Structure 1
Amino acid sequence: MSAKTKLAAKSIGENIATWRRLYGLTSQELADKANVSRATISRLENGDPSVSLETFLNACRTLQTLNAVVEATDPYQTDLGRARADQALPQRVRSRHR
């Protein structure tokens, strides 16, 4: 795993922990709402990249950051994605994202 990936996982984990504290949740409460163990939330908050995407997304849903995560990965939110969509994607795919 690259250093950049490790750093990103650590930063994301720290952000999740900060959001949890801002909402006044314990790690056990977040775990219960995300349908995982407290140990799994601890791994997520400590930047363990082997935590499942489902766990990450459930935590984001609980912390009301899910839409921001989805938007951050939406290529149509970027100039490049919008510019290339007309060239690279079939019409039926392009029309869903406008």
Structure 2
Amino acid sequence: MDGCRWDYEEMVLEDQEPGVMYVNAPTIHFVPCKNYKIDPEQYSCPLYKTSVRAGTLSTTGHSTNFVLAIEMDTNKPKDHWVLRGAALLTMLND
């Protein structure tokens, strides 16, 4: 996770600890369902292939580095996480 961390007690996104760049994301279990409705209180956290986050635009208008958005619970406004660049990463380029 970049720009955020997961609070395992409250089960919500939280701000990073000072001096910590990246933390492990919680285990995410995907369950397919019909007629899923997005909760407007959740943050659509982007998942990227690499920490660079750059890529070329595909025909869908998304970066080729973008995988999908994952709805995550939070107690803060979505804009808070957008301004922090909160995202999930599959690997680091360090």
TM-score (norm 1): 0.22
Higher normalized contact order (CA 8 Å, seq sep 6+, divided by chain length): 2
Say which structure is richer in strand. 2
Say which structure is richer in helix. 1
Larger radius of gyration: 1
